[in-house]
Amino acid sequence: MGFTQELVYCATLIGVQSGGLGFWVRAIVAFLGSAILLATLALAGLLLWVLLDSRRLVSTAKSPRSVIGRPLLFPATLTHTRVSPVKNKFSHRVFLIGIPIGLRGHIGPFLSIDQDGSTLRYITLLRRFFTWFAFDPARYLQRGDNENGLREKLDRFLRSQNKDPARWPYAYLLSVPSFLWWERSVVSFWYLYTPSQELDAMIMEINNSFDEKRNVLFKLEPQSNQPMTEINDLKREPEYLDEEKSVMSLSSLPSARFYKGVLEKGIFASPFERVDTPISTRVIDPVQISLFKPTAAIANVVSTTLAGESRMVAGLSCREPPIDPVNMTAVQLAKYIFLWSFHTTLTTPRILFQALKIQYIQGLMQMMDRPTIQPGSIARHPTSIERRLEPFWRAFLSRCVERFPEPLELTYIPSKSISNDHVCLVSPSSSLRAHMAAKRLTVEAVDPGFYARIVHYADIWEGISHEQQQEGSCADTTSSPLVVSDLDLLRKLVFPLQQRTSAIPVELGLTLANFLAWCRGSRSQMDSFVLSSTAPFLHSRYTECVLRLGVLHRFALNFQLLLWTYEVLARV
């Protein structure tokens, strides 16, 4: 990003010195023409490389391992059928790839699986960067924690749900891969298997159009609506996936053709559905190719009312059995690349088109506004300002706990898009009065925008009170940006520090306090805390954030790209 900024700065400086609109017109035309030409040549070269290079699986894992299943391509059709309160149906093609969790490596330049760039050599890293399809561990489950791959991220998630990872030593992921440098997957399915290799549970990783996500773990039960004698030709012999024989593939052992489960969605996934909509699902074991039929859905997700009536059914089906990319010919691979690659980039436009069609063309339903996410969900990616302001809110809570006279244990949960840590703060009196039970308080900043808003309130407690109020959205009546377990206890905690933090005196001239007040148009108690209770070297960082927020709100219409443009011009 820094190199790109420097290029933009240099181009802007040359343009200013050259003067005239003609320079900018010629520069933009030349840049766009060169970019399109280079992109076309690079794409053609990469496609030729994908088709001609070897498609054998190469493991980059440091030790031998056993996994369940093998990489498979799923050319699927996703069908949305709304049955209540109005009837509507549409379908579109979607390309899914299934990978065993624990497998790390690549199949030529066609598919990269769970490779962390920080641990790869330069040539391998370059190959990963120019892979046609990829499974990047950064995309899945909790954000961050990518160093040890998908298996470690899965284990950490299970432990966060108070589950023992040893209960499910095998897992299989079915998801839309990233295509070159584009990535968008509405739902990813994690199939969890017991030590006896039977499908037992699932994680449904739901991503909405607002860059928010929720990972829901739920139990699966066999649905024995057909005799086991019909489930035949199950491959049970293990086999090695690579020539070095370092990755052994095990077959799953299903006890039924279908498995079913029930979950609470907990996220604003559809503009026409409430957040608390219950969901029932029915899936088949994706590892068993013999179970696939063109007429049967590999996954059915049904949204229901609280009374149990169906509202919408999303069915995922394959017209042909999954395909092993290692055994494909160049002709077959070319066919799949041309037929399916660009379908993956059209998911969001299709969803938006259908939503607009239902509301404005057909006039069937009314879209609801997006609510704040619920605790446990992962918010959108934070802006650089929000990320840099979070430590000041953490420092404020820490100072409040340090000054609290009673035994107290405060658990602060930052926005999950910033950190996955739970910060435990203990008052000094907790150790001095060990005979007394400590009071417990939990404070969770669900929305990363909270960190940018709290610095604008003249009174910190007024800001806390406002941010923790339930918004009363039609989609979710209980959501709020700040979740507090005991509001009265938090008030007792905050008030003493507020009283000790003296107001910034009004002085004439250019002072840091006056500059901060000018940036936002008013004074803030958070300014007083930062200037009086934090290290001096942090004051410039805080001031920069407040200044950028002021420019963002007043002159950039809250658009980060416009703010970045102003910063480029300011550097010139």
- The DSSP string of 355-408 is HHIIIIIS----PPPPPPPPTTSB-PPPPHHHHHHHHHHHHHHHHHHHH-SS-E
> For 144-194, what is each residue's pLDDT tens digit?
666 678 999 999 999 999 999 999 999 999 999 988 777 888 899 999 999
DSSP label at residue 327: G
Say whether both 249 and 124 belong to one domain. Answer: yes
Instruction: For residue 156, give both structure tokens.
Output: 């950490």
Q: Give the rounded percent of residues in the chain with a pLDDT score beyond 70.
A: 85
230 and 301 inside one domain: yes
- Give the pairing of strands 247-250 and 297-304: unpaired
**For residue 85, cis peptide bond before it (omega within 30 degrees of 0):** yes
Q: How far is CA 442 from the centre of its chain?
A: 24
Q: What is the mean pLDDT of residues 254-283?
A: 90
| Range in 65-74, 333-342, 472-481 with the lowest mean pLDDT | 333-342
Cα–Cα distance, 271 to 370 (Å, whole number): 7
Paired strand residues for 426: 409
The answer to the question of residue 368 being in a domain is: no
CA gap 273, 276 in Å, rounded: 8
Model confidence at 9, pLDDT cuts 50, 70, 90, reads: low
In this prediction, residue 173 carries a pLDDT of 97
Rounded CA gap, 438 and 471, in Å?
32
- Among residues 120, 114, 106, which one has the least CA distance to residue 49? 106
For residues 341 and 443, membership in a common domain is answered with: no
Using alpha carbons, select from 124, 117, 105, 165 the residue that is nearest to residue 141.
Answer: 165
Q: Is residue 494 part of a domain?
A: yes
- Residue 346 has phi, psi (to 5 degrees) of -100, 5
* Weakest mean pLDDT among 21-30, 312-321, 491-500: 21-30
**Segments forming the whole domain that contains residue 282:** 53-361
Q: Domain for residue 66, yes or no?
A: yes
Query: Is 374 part of any domain?
Result: no
Q: What is the reported pLDDT for 232?
A: 53
pLDDT in tens, 98-155: 999 999 999 988 899 988 655 555 555 566 667 888 998 888 998 866 667 899 999 9
CA distance 226 to 258: 9
Asked if residues 425 and 409 have their Cβ atoms less than 8 Å apart, the reply is yes
Asked if 24 and 70 sit in the same domain, the reply is no
**297-311 per-position pLDDT tens digit:** 899 999 988 777 888
371-427: pLDDT as tens digits: 999 998 999 999 999 999 999 999 999 999 999 988 999 999 999 999 988 999 999
One-letter identity of residue 27: A
> What confidence category does residue 72 fall into, taking pLDDT thresholds of 50, 70 and 90?
very high
**379: in domain:** no
Place of tokens 């506004």: 369
Residue 370 lies in a domain: no
Q: Please tell me whether residues 433 and 523 are part of one structural domain.
A: yes
Tell me, yes or no, whether 419 and 281 share the same domain. Answer: no
Cα separation, 124 vs 105, in Å, equals: 10
pLDDT at site 458: 87
DSSP character at residue 571: H
111-113, strands of its sheet edge to edge: 57-59, 105-107, 111-113, 133-135, 178-179
Query: Among 329, 361, 393, where does a domain finish?
Result: 361
How many domains is the chain built from? 3
Q: Do residues 410 and 306 share a domain?
A: no
CA distance 549 to 552: 5
- Of the residues 302, 329, 361, the one at which a domain ends: 361
Judgement on whether residues 19 and 46 belong to the same structural domain of the protein: yes
Cα distances from 255 to residues 34, 158, 218, 366, in angstroms, run 58, 24, 18, 43
Do 238 and 143 lie in a common domain?
Answer: yes
